[in-house]
Amino acid sequence: MKSFIIFCIGFIFLSTSASFSQFVITSSVPSDGAVSVPLSTTISFTFSAPLDTTMRYGELQFPISFIATDPLDTLVFGAISYSTDLQTISFEITHTANTDFVWLVIGARNNTGQPLSQPYVLNYTTSAAYGANRVSGTVTFEGGDPTNAVVVLTDGPLFGEEEGIALIGAIVPNSLGAYIANYVRDGVYWPITAKDIDGDGEIDPMGNDVIGFYDPNHDGQPDSIVVSGSDLTGVDMTLRRLFVPVTARAYVDTATSIAKQYAADQELKVIGVHADPKGIDVGLDGTALMWWYQFYSPSFQLSTLVLVSSFFTMADTTMEGFPSTGLPIPENFVDSDSAMSLAVANGGHDFEVQHNVVRRTLYGGNYWADRFLQDSTKIIWVAEYEAIEPDSSSLIFRVFVDMITGELITGVQEPRVSVPLGYSLSQNYPNPFNPTTTINYSVPKQSFVTIKIYDALGREVSILVNEEKSVGTYSVEFNASGISSGVYFYQIKTNEFVQTKKMLLLR
C-alpha cells in the first residue's frame, strides 16, 4: 500500500505575478509566514475572479482543491462562507497550539470554467516565532519546464511506511528552477517536488503529472536533509514520471521472484492489467502502468496475487476465488504488445470507431480459454472492449489471441444486455465521513469479490465483502467506530479486476 500513500501528499506554490487573463489566488488571510495565528480564526483565500462554488475536489469535497492542509489531524473545520462577489472563500478553523501549518491549494475554477492558473502555498504558525532557516536548490525537469512546480519539506520519506506530513511549502517561480523554502526550523526533512502537468487540480503520478525527491547519491531512494542553525543550499531535485507504461513480460521476473518467497513451486496462472479509474486500462501498444500476476502453489495450495509497477510492488496471499487448476503460462509467452496489435487490427479499432468505448483491458491465461472458448488445451490473451450504447445497454467485444503461437483465434461481440458496464468501484459517500460511509460497486459477471479496508501503513482494518457475487450493482457500509481519524484505503479484488481508492475519516 505504500505506493498509494503518494496520493495523499500535497504540492503547491505561491503566486508571485499574474497577467490579466489568469485566474489566480491574489491573497490570503493570514498571509504567508504569519506567526501567533489565533487558535480559533478564519482562513480565507481571495481570487482574481468569482469562484465556481459548485465544484467539488478530493477527499474534503470543497470547491477548491486542498491537496494538503497539514497537519490535518490538528485542524477542526467549521463553517464555510463566501464574499458577496464570490471571490473570497473563508473557513472557520480551530487550530492546535504551537503548531506550524501548510495549506496547499492546487485547484479551483472561476464562474466561466477557467481553471486555477497558479497554485498557492500558505505557511503560518500558531507559535510566537517561525524557523529562521532557509532551504534552497534547483528543480530540473527532463524534457520539460519546472515553472509552477512546488517544493515541499515533509517529516517522512515519500516511500515511507507512514504518510508524510508537509511542514513547509515553496514555489519554483520560473524555468530556471531555483527555489527557496523559508521559515524552516532545525530538524530532519525529506524534500519532495511535483508539478501538475495537465492542470486538473490534482497531483496524479499515474497520469501525466511528475514528481521528484532529493536523491544526491542517485540510488532511487529519497534522502533526508538536516537543518541545524543555518541555511542549507544545493538541495537539488529532478522531476520525472514515476509510473512508466510497459508490456506484461517486463515485470514477470519481478513478480515470480516475489511469489516464490511464499512458495518455491509457484506457477503463473493469470496475467491482467490493473484497472484504471478512467477505464482505458491498456494502451493500443499493449503497455500499461501496472500489471497483476496470479500464481498458485500446488504443494501449499496457496494463491498469490502480485501487483507490479515501475514505482512499487504489492503481494496478497489472502485472495480467494482465483483459478488453481489448468495450464500454467510459460516463460516464453507472446507479449501483450503483439496481442493488442492483433486485437486492434482484427476488430478492436473498428469497434472503438463505431461505439462509445468506456473500457479497454487485457488479461490472459488458460482459465479464460476454458471459460470463453470451452477449450482447456489453450492459453490465451483476451483483449476486451466495453461500450455504452444510447439506450444505456452494455456492448462487449473480445478478441482472443493464442499466448503460445501468437495466432489470432477469433473476435466475438456479445449481444447487448442491461448489465453493469464492467467492474467498478465508486468513491465512498460521504467523504470525509464519521463514522459510517457507503461504498458502491458493480459486478458484470458471476465473480468471487473481496473488498477490504487498509490503513495508511497497509495493514488490514476490515473485510467488507468476501463472497461470490452474481451480476449486479451493490452497496456496502463501512462503520469506522473505534478507529482513529486519518486516511484509509479500500480495495476491490476479483479474479480479473483490482482497484483501490482512498477515503478520509474525520472525527
Q: Domains of the chain, with CATH numbers?
A: 2-239 (2.60.40.1220), 248-413 (no CATH), 424-505 (2.60.40.1930)
- Rounded distance between C-alpha atoms, residue 429 and residue 484, angstroms: 18
Q: If you average pLDDT over residues 457-480, what whole number do you get?
A: 85
pLDDT at residue 73 tops 80:
no
Buried-state track 436-462, b at ≥16 Cβ within 10 A, e below 16: ebebebbbbeebbbbbbbbbbeeeeee
pLDDT above 70 covers a percentage of the chain that reads 89
Q: Is the distance from CB of 107 to CB of 152 less than 8 angstroms? A: no
Residue 424's nearest CA partner among 468, 387, 474 is: 474
More confident residue, 340 or 221: 340
Question: What backbone phi and psi angles, to 5 degrees, belong to 345?
Answer: -75, -15
- Rounded distance between C-alpha atoms, residue 72 and residue 184, angstroms: 19
Query: Please, which pLDDT band fits residue 200 given cuts at 50, 70 and 90?
Result: confident
- Rounded distance between C-alpha atoms, residue 287 and residue 155, angstroms: 35
pLDDT at residue 38 tops 90:
yes
Residue 178's alpha-carbon distances to 122, 136, 147, in angstroms, are 19, 7, 9
Q: If you average pLDDT over residues 87-112, what whole number do you get?
A: 93
The distance of Cα 143 from the centroid of its chain, to the nearest Å, equals 24
Q: If you average pLDDT over residues 69-85, what whole number do you get?
A: 87
More confident residue, 203 or 216: 216
Least confident range of 32-36, 456-460, 491-495: 456-460
Query: Please, which pLDDT band fits residue 371 given cuts at 50, 70 and 90?
Result: confident
Q: If you average pLDDT over residues 357-381, what whole number do you get?
A: 89
More confident residue, 421 or 73: 73
Whether the model clears a pTM of 0.85, i.e. scores above it, the answer is no
Q: What is the mean pLDDT of the chain?
A: 85
Query: Please, which pLDDT band fits residue 18 given cuts at 50, 70 and 90?
Result: very low
- Rounded distance between C-alpha atoms, residue 445 and residue 291, angstroms: 21
Residues present in the chain in total: 507
Least confident range of 96-100, 184-188, 266-270, 318-322: 318-322
Q: What is the pLDDT of residue 372?
A: 84
Query: Please, which pLDDT band fits residue 17 given cuts at 50, 70 and 90?
Result: very low
Q: Is 392 left (phi over 0), alpha (psi -120 to 50) or beta?
A: left
Least confident range of 251-255, 310-314, 486-490: 310-314
Q: What is the pLDDT of residues 284-339, one digit of tens each?
A: 999 998 899 999 999 998 989 898 888 778 888 876 666 778 899 999 999 999 99
